[in-house]
Amino acid sequence: MVDSLGFAHFLSNADIVARVILAVMLLASVGSWYLILVKGAHVLRLRRRSAAFLAAFWEARNLEAVATRIRETGTTEPFSHLLHHGFTALEQLDRMKQGNDGGTSLIDCGAPDEMLARALKRSIEEDKAQLEFGQTFLATVASAAPFVGLLGTVWGIYHALIAIGASGEGSLDKVAGPVGEALIMTGMGLAVAIPAAVAYNAFARANRNTLSTLNSFAYDVHTFLATGIKSSPMRSDARATSERMIALTQTLGPAESAPPSHPGLAVR
């Protein structure tokens, strides 16, 4: 009887419902581990690039030096992306002042500092959406996988009890095998849910830290650029900065760039 127990015996005797439940948990597990590995590498890469950009930003002599760095490296992380949105807002304001924009659109309405604040806020929201990619799937797996496994357990025990009743043997050695095999489903549900839950919490914490630092950085950028709206020579370089940034994104290819979602804003 011992040879008949185990996971292989459970698979060979599973019906269509049990097999579907197993397939769902397998897909959830594969999807979870894919996101864990991909997002984990992405978070580490962003953290390294963000630290390098912030160090270069605070050591720069002026905004022109920062613009030169962005032209050379591109917007590879949220902080340079935020600053580039600010530069692009200055470009829009410069076109409006010179009367070369062909009219004022909704995105250009409001005072200059308000328009700049909206541009920075859009950048933060775009980065937030990218940082949170895949977390809904991880949260769904973490919350639903134990119950899916429990459903498989209940279904397996039901069929095990029917088989035991049909055989007329209710001794412990006859009950332990089928019931134990059915409980495998609960263990599999937990094995799928626990990594997803841990990864979700880790990514959520990393995103909160990044967004908190990004919001603080946005206040500094708004102060620098709002002052520059009136008197900084950065306005003369903003258009070149934006145009070269757009050209840089386009050279990356269609997989890494997309057309602007609204006028004056370049996408990473």
**Residue-level pLDDT at 36:** 95
Q: Which long-range contacts (CB under 8 A, 24 or more apart) does 224-233 make?
A: 224/63, 225/63, 225/86, 225/87, 225/89, 225/90, 225/116, 226/112, 226/113, 226/116, 228/63, 228/90, 229/90, 229/93, 229/112, 229/113, 229/116, 232/63, 233/64
SS3 104: coil
pLDDT, one tens digit per residue, over 190-236 is: 999 999 999 999 999 999 999 999 998 988 888 877 765 443 434 34
Fill in the amino acid letter for 30. V
What is the per-residue pLDDT for 38?
95
Please tell me the predicted confidence (pLDDT) of residue 42.
Answer: 93
Residue found by looking up tokens 């579907």 in the block: 20
Structure tokens at 101: 């924009």
pLDDT at 261: 37
CA 93 vs. chain centroid, Å, equals: 32
Q: What is the pLDDT of residue 11?
A: 66
**Using CA atoms, how far apart are residues 149 and 146, in angstroms rounded to an integer?**
5
Query: Cβ of 84: how many Cβ atoms within 10 Å?
Result: 26
Tens digit of pLDDT for each residue in 138-190? 999 999 999 998 988 888 787 777 777 776 665 665 666 667 777 888 889 99
Whole-number Å distance between alpha carbons of 130 and 10: 42
Give the pLDDT band of residue 74 (cuts 50, 70, 90): confident
Phi-psi category of 258—alpha, beta or left, where left has phi over 0 and alpha has psi -120 to 50?
beta
pLDDT of residue 63: 78
d(CA 149, CA 185): 5
* Secondary structure (3-state) at 241: helix
Q: What is the pLDDT of residues 21-36, one digit of tens each?
A: 889 999 999 999 999 9
Please give the residue that has the higher pLDDT: either 63 or 103.
63
The confidence score (pLDDT) of residue 135 equals 93
- pLDDT tens per residue across span 37-62: 999 999 999 999 999 898 888 888 87
Cα–Cα dist 128/210, whole Å: 9
pLDDT (0 to 100) of residue 234 = 40
Question: Cα separation of 178 and 249, whole Å?
Answer: 59
Determine the average pLDDT of the residues in 256-267: 36
10-14, 52-56, 92-96: segment of lowest average pLDDT: 10-14
Tell me the pLDDT of the chain averaged across its residues. 76
Report the C-alpha gap between 119 and 87 in whole angstroms: 9
Report pLDDT for 6.
59
CA–CA gap between residue 212 and residue 219 (Å, rounded): 11
Percentage of residues in the chain having pLDDT higher than 90: 28
Q: Note the pLDDT of residue 117.
A: 84
Look-up of token digits 């003369």: 236
Residue 102 CA to residue 109 CA, distance in Å, equals: 14
